[in-house]
Structure 1
């Protein structure tokens, strides 16, 4: 591992999130934080892929995949930020932090920089794999990443289309992939980071650090900054309609709708 390169990437991510803090303070819109974070992870991953000491074909594949992820997610969040009000998750944090909101947000974004670094390290480790490319594990990892990118794109598009309808003001989204998971976009985001593990793991102790990326992303999305604050907001704004959705649709992993399953059982009986 090139420790000097990794230190440089860590510093760059910290500076990027400092810039994100500045933009948020200037514009009053926290959505730019996640936009800048997405582009920062992408740039960090692309830099690591270009400068890694690994098979050239694999490095280029890694470069293209992380670039596609970053461009899609960053552009999507940026477009959403321009057309929507303040992100309810950040608004809730600011309310809880009170007079110390500015300082607490700065420290919070430095923690996000650390999380970004863990993801970038997984990409870097995938690029340092010197095994002949492409191998079976490369096909597996790249296939998982491609499915995840497609699934997340479709999920975001379906939600965006729903938000344009009059029903979006009072109803909850249950169209397309949203019929089988309350947060399919989060599921596919987590799945994307699972794709780096088969590519990165070579049997060396260092390569297994890549497992931290999907583990951390699952923890953040399911237990910390993803589902919990968003569902709290949805319960406040949609009440019993969202509570009913919680009973019939899985929170994270896509699966059969509980109401549909019960209806099928009734038909069989």
Structure 2
């Protein structure tokens, strides 16, 4: 990629990892206090939003401003919608059966096992899966028709995701 600011992007990678892990660690603290680890599923969407916002701030002065805003808004809308849906769906329920079964077999402390096998793993996955979001913030040059076609595809996907969740 000609003109891609690799040095700034490398610094961003660390900041984005910090954002993803900060969301997961804060969620872990809330989960331990409340005794229910199912809230980590809510944090999944919130962590993508945090990474997009941190990357937007870190990429100031780099990349195309319109692309930076577009990527941040699309990622944040998706992440917050998903987090809100999962939070509503899980309200008033106890522990998720998946986590209950996994933690029942945990060697030693259930909470430390959950931290290692759920929260830190999901934080790493958020960072990895969000690499295209992070890189897009640093791409120079104006938006093209591909960006708008991608935005239309995003909107269609979000619509079907929301309809599927409602069903």
Judge same fold: TM > 0.5, yes or no.
Answer: yes
Q: What is the rounded CA distance, in whole Å, between the counterparts of 1:100 and 1:60 in structure 2?
A: 43
Instruction: Tell me which of the two structures has the higher relative contact order, counting C-alpha pairs closer than 8 angstroms and 6 or more residues apart.
Output: 2
Aligned twin of 1:115:
125
Moved over 6 A (4+): none
Q: What is the rounded CA distance, in whole Å, between the counterparts of 1:10 and 1:40 in structure 2?
A: 10
Which 5+ residue runs of structure 2 have no aligned equivalent?
1-5
Contact 1:46 1:66 in 2 (8 A): no
Give per-residue Cα distances to partners, 1:26-64, cap 9 Å, x unaligned.
Answer: 112222112123212211112213432211111111111
Which stretch has the larger CA shift, 59-68 or 11-20? Answer: 11-20
**Given the alignment, which residue of 29, 40, 52 partners 1:45?**
52
The Cα RMSD (Å) is: 1.7
Q: What is the rounded CA distance, in whole Å, between the counterparts of 1:64 and 1:14 in structure 2?
A: 21
Give per-residue Cα distances to partners, 1:160-186, cap 9 Å, x unaligned.
Answer: xxxxxxxxxxxxxxxxxxxxxxxxxxx
1:15 aligns with 2:15: no
Which 5+ residue runs of structure 1 have no aligned equivalent?
159-269
When Rg is computed on C-alpha atoms for both structures, the one with the higher figure is: 1
Q: What is the rounded CA distance, in whole Å, between the counterparts of 1:42 and 1:125 in structure 2?
A: 15
Q: What is the rounded CA distance, in whole Å, between the counterparts of 1:76 and 1:127 in structure 2?
A: 27
Aligned twin of 1:261:
none
| TM-score relative to the length of structure 1 | 0.54
Q: How do 1:134-173 and structure 2 match up within 5 A?
A: 135-158=144-167
Give per-residue Cα distances to partners, 1:177-207, cap 9 Å, x unaligned.
Answer: xxxxxxxxxxxxxxxxxxxxxxxxxxxxxxx
Aligned twin of 2:111:
102
Contact 2:71 2:133 in 1 (8 A): yes
